[in-house]
Amino acid sequence: MYVWAVSFVLVCSMHMHSGGSVILIIPPHLTTKWFYIVIVKRPADLPAGSDIHLFREGIKPAWEDPNNCKGGHWTIRLKKGLTSYYWEALLFAIIGEKFDVGNEICGLSCSIRHGEDVLTLWNRSADRCEVCDKINEVGRQAYLKSHITTH
């Protein structure tokens, strides 16, 4: 069981407001769907300019964080309308430990922009090929599953 922190920046009336962060301990007996419904908003419900991050407790969504400085990331640019589905697929894969790479997954970010949205999956070690291959494989499966179930 890992402890996760959800942080967000919301844009309201052309002003940026930091929503702070919430520390979440996800008990094994509760489903990830419960966690998602109760805590996290869908990216499609957020205004352009907003960011939402799900990171392990103690890790910040920045390259300067010691847990990220030697890591890698996957950046996915998505058309409007697709982001919530892929965000949910990756969110459930991370919390459900479907990547099966131990503590290598540092977090997931979603940036809501006017023309497109950007998802970024962060991992701890960019030089571990077997870990990167596994993350890539599970990420692709989540992407395909989100398209099959929504279209």
Q: b/e string for 55-94 if b means 16 or more Cβ within 10 A?
A: bbeebbbeeebebbeebbbbebebeeebbbbbbbbbbbbb
The per-residue pLDDT for 96 is 81
Q: Please tell me the predicted confidence (pLDDT) of residue 90.
A: 87
Tell me the average confidence (pLDDT) per consecutive run of 10 residues in the chain, 151 residues long: 69 52 51 56 83 87 91 88 87 83 90 93 88 81 53 33
Domains of the chain: 3-150 (3.30.760.10)
Q: Give Cα separations from 63 to 10, 33, 122, 123 (angstroms).
A: 21, 30, 10, 11
Report the C-alpha gap between 54 and 25 in whole angstroms: 12
pLDDT given for residue 94 in this prediction = 85
Q: Taking the chain, what is the end-to-end CA distance rounded to the nearest angstrom?
A: 33
Burial 123-143 (b: 16+ CB within 10 A, else e): bbeeebeebbebbeebbeebb
